[in-house]
Structure formats: C-alpha cells, structure tokens
Amino acid sequence: GAVVSQHPSRVICKSGTSVKIECRSLDFQATTMFWYRQFPKKSLMLMATSNEGSKATYEQGVEKDKFLINHASLTLSTLTVTSAHPEDSSFYICSAPTGYGYTFGSGTRLTVV
Amino acid sequence: GEDVEQSLFLSVREGDSSVINCTYTDSSSTYLYWYKQEPGAGLQLLTYIFSNMDMKQDQRLTVLLNKKDKHLSLRIADTQTGDSAIYFCAEIRSNTGKLIFGQGTTLQVKP
C-alpha cells in the first residue's frame, strides 16, 4: 500500500534555530501533501497544503514565514520551522491523498528548548 | 456548525462494546474516516465508509452512517485493553479536498 515516510521522528533543537521535517512518498507520487500540527491531547490542525511545483497554501492564522513548505518533487515535501521557539514545540504530521483516502506519515515530535 | 464534533472521553470494561460518536459538517463529503492514535504515535487508518453506504463491518469494527443527521459512529465489539487510544473521525470537505478531524475521543478500557 501507499507509504509516506516522515523524518525525523523526534528532534530537540535550541530556540532560534531552524528544523526541517521531510515527508517522502515511497511507492506513489504525491502531488499534494497536507501538513498538520497536533497539540498535546488535542486534535490535528491543518496548517497548510503543499502542491508539487507551486506555492503552498496556508490555513488562516498560520505564519508563512515561520513554517516554510517546499514541494520540489512528486515524492518529497518538506516543512521547515524557522527561528523555532518553545511554543513551536508540537507533533507535526504529514498526509498525502491516495486512492480512497489519505496516508499519514508517522509524525515528528519537535521540542524546542 | 463548522467543526467535526466528538465526545472527548469514553470508558468501558474489557469485553464490552464501545460506541464512539461523531457529527460531521459536510453533507457532500464522499468519504468519512476513523483513525486511531496510540500514545506518542502517528495515525492509523482503522476504517472508512463511502457516503452512499449506511453501514460497514470489518471484524470487530462496525461503522454506521446517518447522512440525514450527519452522524457517524464506530462500534468496537469485545473491546480489549489494546484498543485504548484516541479515536478521530474525519471528513473530506468536498469543496477543498481537505481532511478535517474531530477533536478525538479518548477510549479507556478497564480490565
């Protein structure tokens, strides 16, 4: 079945640094990738939609300059959290549409110290 | 309303049936989903149902869909301690193709 590989699974970084999260579609081409953020004990909030070869579209309230999304190829989408702060600590997860639904990456636990 | 809504918590005894309810918003949504999330892990697709179906059964899981009321439910028969997790329902918004989640229902299974 369709698999989305997400890396890293966990990352700890210092305030002010940037962190890149990668999602790769392993056995299919993902023209679209959705990026979600999940706060502790909360639901998944859609942050943005990346489309291969074009600019990402961001949900209301999501800072474009803080959360940089790139979808340079049909198999790779990246989310870069720039100038990270402790409030950016969260669980980030990507998802790509497949035949009947959506396949999710395994998620990235980001902790900013 | 604009949100997909679920009750936040359900506690059952091992061996009982669990029923998790969800109210969605988009009457044109073609697919509706149930996902399971264990602590510290990603999302696992449990099951899905097409909008033209009323019921779908898959082993211990039964999904019921009431399109008139935009109500979706997940029944887990013979609930086990390994079923303890957060369960999310989700709908595809027909106008955007975006997958929108409910708040999640935490299922606690007591031995």
Find, among B92, B86, B109, the residue nearest to B35 by Cα: B86
| Residues A42, B104: C-beta atoms closer than 8 Å | yes
| Residues A104, B45: C-beta atoms closer than 8 Å | yes
At residue A90, the pLDDT reads 94
Characterize the bridge pairing of strands A90-97 and A32-38. Answer: antiparallel
Of B110 and B27, more confident = B110
At residue A100, the pLDDT reads 66
| Residues A101, B33: C-beta atoms closer than 8 Å | yes
Rounded to an integer, the average pLDDT of B23-35 is: 90
Of B44 and A17, more confident = A17
Mean pLDDT across chain B, nearest whole number?
92
Q: Does B1 touch chain A (CB under 8 A)?
A: no
Residue A10 has pLDDT above 80, yes or no: yes
- Give A-chain residues touching B104 at CB under 8 angstroms: 42-43
pLDDT tens-digit series, residues A24-70:
999 899 999 999 999 877 788 999 999 998 899 999 999 999 999 99
Rounded to an integer, the average pLDDT of B75-85 is: 96
What are the DSSP calls for A47-60, one per residue?
A: EEEEETTS--EE-T
Q: Of A32, A43, A93, which is closest to B42 when you measure between CB atoms? A: A93
**A43/A35 Cα distance (integer angstroms):** 13
Closest chain B CA to residue A34: B98
pLDDT tens-digit series, residues A74-98:
999 999 999 999 999 999 999 998 8
**B80/B64 Cα distance (integer angstroms):** 21
At residue B53, the pLDDT reads 92
At residue B81, the pLDDT reads 95
At residue B2, the pLDDT reads 63
Torsion of CA A2, A49, B21, B39, to 10 degrees: 70
**B62/B19 Cα distance (integer angstroms):** 9
The percentage of chain B sitting over the pLDDT mark of 70, rounded to a whole number, equals 98
- Give B-chain residues touching A6 at CB under 8 angstroms: 42
At residue A33, the pLDDT reads 95
